[in-house]
């Protein structure tokens, strides 16, 4: 049956607690799923079933198809395995739903899910407690939204503790905590203020929902939140007291109320990235254009002001935001034209879609094409290009693959000893320097790392100011 999603959802808590105008701004704009989000949902579905059925062979899922559907009379969406989807089509309500997309389960996806499931089971074995899988937990008690729920992947419930785990099947590193205050020095006392961390707001929302649903007698004293990212081999945990979690609940409740009574736009890179209004948001556009034209004097004069070195760091921090805004505008324009909507420049000239650069040509049937070339007496070494595999591909061949359940393990295609022999033959260039904040944990590059003393820079704008 159709599923209703919370308006102030845990997954978007970082955005709606910062840009409190974003929930209302997105009203009426459908949430379009991406291929990446569907793949993640598929992995979560398999994970849930494996955790609930320990004897199930995970590799029996390879090749199965998950169908994503939408109910036309609402914004509700859902997903079911293909065989269940076909049965749904035979019911009156199910027949109304239409198919959005399909995802086929791959071995790479199963490898990642097995890794996550193994970690979760190890934590359960180590910590004990009751294992709850894919739990709908209430969040309306702090968002103020009636009948609002979030879905926690895993909850471990102990006598006086609670542990929430969330698997993320993307490749962007996510942490269970967020920085509230960087380590700094008090300008008045000179005292060093230590780094202050708080919980990831999505995880805190799940934890609050779990406490509300399962801690009826107030026994829980500590709460741990763990993020598992099997594709990049990353796990991260954050533990706090129940009182500290209640402080986060007050913050979430206040921000939820602000979305209804005093909403304000806060256009920032992270806030705008997943917002459905991006590319068509006045606040986002105003900030981006204000940043772009900050180097000019009077409007339309075209006269540059002297760059302020003290502002350079702040301007650089906005580069990702401006780049993303430009990309969002381009994508919004493309979608509008694709949907037949007019897009007109301020001088009245409209835009249109035209054929772009021709795509790369490929053979429809390689065997048939090879037969024609062979019949034309083209030598084999002219017909085919041979290229040695890359070091990364060779390394993959040296690793033993997990066999299907009930089958004996097979040796690695490339013996590990031979992979070791290849090490001296591998060349890898030095990574290009990147700009990062001083709070980044990576060490700073210096002259000893290959940089020479830089000459005194020549100001390329000097001529513009008569110098």
For the segment 7-53, what is each residue's pLDDT rounded down to a tens digit? 999 999 999 999 999 999 999 888 888 999 999 999 999 999 999 99
Final residue belonging to a domain, choices 217, 245, 261? 261
Band (75; pLDDT cuts 50, 70, 90): low
Final residue belonging to a domain, choices 261, 289, 311? 261
Same domain, 242 and 314: no
Same domain, 253 and 298: no
Answer yes or no: is pLDDT of 347 > 90.
no
Name the domain count of the chain: 2
Final residue belonging to a domain, choices 261, 280, 309? 261
| pLDDT value for 304 | 52
Same domain, 186 and 53: yes
User: Where in the sequence is the domain holding 273, given as residue range(s)?
Assistant: 269-338
| pLDDT value for 298 | 52
Q: Which of 166-170, 271-275, 361-365 has the lowest mean pLDDT?
A: 361-365
Same domain, 115 and 161: yes
311: in domain: yes
How far from 452 is each of 97, 437, 447, 448, 455, CA to CA, in Å? Answer: 65, 22, 6, 8, 9
Helices (H), 78-196: 82-88, 107-127, 140-143
Structure tokens at 422: 């290849």
Structure tokens at 328: 């969002």
Spatial separation of the C-alpha atoms in residues 58 and 297, rounded to whole Å: 64
Mean pLDDT for the stretch of residues 385-392: 84
Which span out of 10-14, 75-79, 82-86, 94-98 was modeled with the highest average pLDDT?
Answer: 10-14
| pLDDT value for 461 | 37
Mean pLDDT for the stretch of residues 426-444: 76
191: in domain: yes
190 in the Ramachandran plot: left (φ > 0), alpha (ψ -120 to 50) or beta?
A: left
408: in domain: no
Same domain, 176 and 238: yes
Same domain, 198 and 321: no
| pLDDT value for 349 | 83
Same domain, 314 and 175: no
Same domain, 111 and 187: yes
Following DSSP, what letter does each residue of 164-229 receive, concatenated? Answer: EEEE--SSS---SEEEEE--EE-TTT-PEEPPEEEE-HHHHHHHHHHHHHH-TTS---EEEEEEEE
What is the chain's mean pLDDT, rounded? 86
Spatial separation of the C-alpha atoms in residues 201 and 399, rounded to whole Å: 38
Which span out of 92-106, 164-178, 342-356, 369-383 was modeled with the highest average pLDDT?
Answer: 164-178
447: in domain: no
Band (241; pLDDT cuts 50, 70, 90): very high
Structure tokens at 180: 């509230």
Same domain, 172 and 243: yes
Same domain, 274 and 208: no
Answer yes or no: is pLDDT of 1 > 70.
no
Spatial separation of the C-alpha atoms in residues 112 and 93, rounded to whole Å: 35
Band (77; pLDDT cuts 50, 70, 90): confident
Mean pLDDT for the stretch of residues 341-346: 88
| pLDDT value for 67 | 95
Same domain, 144 and 244: yes
275: in domain: yes
Pairing mode of beta strands 222-229, 161-167: parallel
pLDDT, one tens digit per residue, over 255-296 is: 999 999 999 999 999 999 999 999 989 999 999 988 777 765
426 in the Ramachandran plot: left (φ > 0), alpha (ψ -120 to 50) or beta?
A: beta
76: in domain: no
Band (197; pLDDT cuts 50, 70, 90): very high
| pLDDT value for 401 | 77
């Amino acid at each position: 049956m159709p599923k209703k999603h919370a308006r102030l959802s845990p997954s978007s808590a970082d955005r709606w607690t910062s840009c409190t105008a974003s929930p209302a701004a997105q009203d009426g704009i459908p949430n379009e799923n991406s291929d990446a989000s569907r793949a993640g949902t598929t992995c979560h579905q398999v994970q849930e079933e494996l955790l609930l059925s320990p004897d199930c062979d995970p590799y029996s899922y390879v090749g199965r198809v998950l169908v994503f559907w939408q109910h036309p009379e609402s914004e509700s969406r859902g997903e079911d395995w293909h065989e269940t989807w076909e049965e749904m089509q035979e019911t009156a309500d199910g027949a109304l739903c239409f198919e959005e997309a399909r995802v086929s389960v791959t071995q790479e996806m199963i490898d990642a899910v097995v890794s996550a499931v193994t970690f979760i089971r190890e934590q359960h074995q180590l910590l004990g407690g009751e294992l709850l899988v894919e739990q709908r937990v209430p969040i309306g008690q702090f968002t103020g939204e009636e009948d609002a729920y979030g879905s926690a992947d895993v909850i471990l419930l102990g006598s006086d503790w609670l542990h929430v785990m969330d698997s993320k099947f993307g490749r962007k590193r996510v942490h269970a905590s967020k920085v509230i205050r960087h380590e700094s020095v008090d300008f008045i006392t000179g005292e060093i203020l230590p780094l202050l961390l708080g919980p990831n707001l999505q995880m805190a929302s799940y934890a609050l929902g779990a406490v509300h649903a399962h801690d009826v007698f107030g026994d829980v004293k500590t709460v741990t939140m763990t993020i598992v990212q099997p594709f990049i081999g990353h796990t991260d945990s954050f533990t706090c007291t129940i009182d500290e979690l209640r402080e986060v609940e007050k913050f979430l409740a206040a921000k939820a109320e602000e979305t209804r009574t005093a909403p304000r736009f806060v256009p920032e890179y992270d806030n705008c990235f997943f917002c459905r209004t991006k590319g068509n948001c006045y606040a986002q556009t105003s900030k981006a254009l204000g940043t772009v034209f900050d180097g000019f004097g009077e409007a339309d004069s075209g006269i540059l002001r002297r760059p302020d070195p003290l502002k350079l760091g702040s301007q650089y921090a906005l580069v990702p935001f401006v780049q993303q805004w430009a990309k969002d505008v381009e994508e919004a324009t493309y979608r509008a034209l694709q949907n037949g909507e007019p897009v007109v420049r301020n001088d009245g000239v409209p835009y249109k879609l035209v054929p772009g650069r021709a795509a790369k040509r490929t053979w429809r049937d390689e065997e048939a094409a090879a037969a024609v070339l062979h019949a034309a007496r083209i030598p084999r070494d002219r017909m085919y290009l041979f290229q040695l595999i890359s070091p990364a591909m060779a390394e993959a061949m040296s690793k033993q693959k997990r066999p299907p359940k009930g089958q004996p393990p097979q040796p690695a295609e490339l013996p590990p000893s031979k992979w070791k022999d290849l090490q001296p033959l591998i060349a890898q260039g030095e990574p290009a320097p990147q700009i990062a904040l001083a709070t980044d944990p990576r060490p700073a590059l210096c002259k000893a790392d290959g940089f020479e003393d830089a000459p005194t820079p020549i100001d390329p704008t000097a001529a513009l100011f008569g110098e």
